[in-house]
Structure formats: structure tokens, C-alpha cells
Amino acid sequence: MGSGHTVAVFGAYGHTGRFVVAQLLERGFVPVLSGRDADRLKMLAASESGLEARPASVDDPASLDRALAGAAAVINCAGPFADTAAPVIEAALRAGIPYVDVAAEVEANVDTFAHFTDRARDAGAVIVPAMAFYGGLGDLLATATMGDWTTADEAHIAYGLSNWHPTAGTRAAGAVSRQRRGGRRVRYTNGQLEYRHDDPPTLDWPFPDPLGTRAVIGEFTMADVVTIPSHLSIPEVRTYMTVEAARDVLAPDTPTPATVDEHGRSAQTFLVDVVVRSGGMERRAVARGQDIYAVTAPLAVEAVARILTGRTRTVGVASAGAVFDAPDFLRALSPHISIDLRQ
């Protein structure tokens, strides 16, 4: 449990931020609500009796310092992370506390590794980017699937989403990524990111039941191409998305997620199929659950809980699979995600 530790949540009033606040409370932590919009913070604090609101802006380092004062850790839920990650990491380093974010932006995660790896290691700090459905979960699954393998030829992460109704934050982050890529798409091949102008391939992916074989957009690249290669020796990492979900998230008129249960979750279901190949051998892991935004909260909060209790394997900037015991972490997610490891 959280043992009363105070955890600052930047972007607390956002869609994912609210799930994170609720999960922190459930785990016995004390969330401090922070973000750029003071009015939305006040409304959230009013709905969560006893929680403190501390407005802060990424353009005002002093406000970030006030927001993180006395906190044991910070979780950044505010995208676009191209704008927010570096300032909040800087504030976490000044405060001497661990930093976790839920960034799905490929370029923002690349920036975090590039700009903070040496400083965080030298400071003995723990910075975990992409501790979310995209990036974190795939990395944990791939790491657990590798098992005793030290290298592999390729890793494939196929996302089978029933639909994808994007939040405003998802749309804003996607717009920033597209702008930074100059209209190009990106994939991870031959041990590096490659930017291309051609269209991604469409193919069939043999998902396990209940999905079965579905059409997917190949090289629909997510944060896994940053997190997995950051610590696993795999030169080819590919991610795929079911065609229907890809169409949803790219269409301008797709609605935002609609709540269907007492936990605030949408009706969206997901199946993540991870295949790792080495030589002629293949290993597989499958994760099933409901609502990609909702399950990001237990991922991020479990990460904070493990960091604060010393259940980590390294310091510096590290992805989920590098800093945590991946099989044990996945077992801890069992109330939220069904996991099937097939080594």
C-alpha cells in the first residue's frame, strides 16, 4: 500500500490523470493535484475532499517546485509530453524525487532518454517514461517473454482494440508528433528509428481468441519502439494496430471515451499480443483487459509503489522492463489485466 506517501500528479484533471488519482487513493497514497488550469484543479479538489490543489505551469519552474514540495514522487499525466516532460523532470531532479510519466509520444520518449540519462544516473534518480498502456505494458510483456534469452531477432506487439475513442490529450499529442515528423511515419528496424514517406502496410494478424485473425496496420508505431530497445537487444521491433481502431483514432469526428461503469471506464476492450522470435524459436505473451486509459493508472501507480519501496533494478532513465522485475510486475496487475505468458 501507499503508506500515506504524497504523490504529485501533474495533469491530475485530465482523463488519464483522474484514473491515476483514483488509483493512488485506492492504494493508500495521498495525491497532490497539479496542472496548468487552476479552475479545473479547484473543481477536482472539491470533488475529492481533503486533497490539495497546486496550480503549476511548465513555463514557471518555481510553480513546479511548489507543486512538488514535500512529495515522495511525481506522475506526469499532462500531454503533449514534448512540452511537459522536460520541465517536470527538471523539477523532480531539483526536488530529489522519482519521476514517472504516461507518454505515448515516440519523440518525447526519445528526448527523455537522450537528455536525461547521464544526469539522472549521476544523481541516482529514477525516471521512468512511458509507464502506460503504450510503451510500458508492451515492454513488460516483451521482457517477461524473453525470459532467459539475452538477445532476439525481432519483437512484434500487436494491439487488438475493439475501438479507440481518443481523448483530447491523445489528439493533441498526436498532432505534435505528426508535426515533429514532418508528415513522415516512423518504424524501428536494423537497431534504429527510420523515418519514411511511404504508407504503412496492411496485413492480417493471428490474434488469440476471442479476436482471431484481424486486419491490422503494420508499423503503426507506438512508444514500444523506444522502451523495448532501450534495454533489450532486439534489432527489429514492430507494432501493429487493428484497422478499425486506427481509423477511429485518426478520424476527426470520433467521440471521446464514454463512461459505462462505476470505475469510469469505457466499454473498449483490448488484447495485446506480443511475439518474440530468436532463430527458429518463438515465445508469446498475451494481455487482455478493458479501457486503455484506465489500465494506465495501475501501471503508473504500481511503478511508483515499487520505486518508493526499493523494488528496482537500476537508476537513471529506464523503461519498465529495465527497472522492474517484469514477471512479478505483471502478476501485480492481475486485478486489472489478464496476462498469459507462453515461453
pLDDT tens, 234-285? 999 999 999 999 999 999 999 999 999 999 999 999 999 999 999 999 999 9
Q: How high does pLDDT run on average in the chain?
A: 96
Q: Is the pLDDT of residue 343 over 70?
A: no
Q: Is the pLDDT of residue 303 over 80?
A: yes
Q: 6-132+296-327 in CATH: which number?
A: 3.40.50.720
The Cα 321–Cα 141 span in angstroms is: 8
Please give the DSSP secondary-structure letter assigned to residue 254: P
Range of weakest confidence among 47-56, 85-94, 142-151, 156-165: 47-56
CATH classification for the domain delimited by 133-291+338-342, as one of 3.30.390.50, 3.30.360.10, 3.90.1170.50, 1.10.260.40: 3.30.360.10
- Model confidence at 4, pLDDT cuts 50, 70, 90, reads confident
Domain boundaries, the chain: 6-132+296-327, 133-291+338-342
Q: Is the pLDDT of residue 2 over 80?
A: no
Name 218's bridge partners: 240
Which of these, 72, 129, 128, lies nearest to 95 by C-alpha position?
72
Average pLDDT of 188-217? 96
The pLDDT, as a whole number, for residue 342 is 76
The pLDDT, as a whole number, for residue 49 is 81
The pLDDT, as a whole number, for residue 243 is 98
The Cα 222–Cα 230 span in angstroms is: 14
The set of residues, in sequence order, having a beta carbon less than 8 Å from that of 269 and lying 6+ positions away, is 161, 162, 288, 289, 290
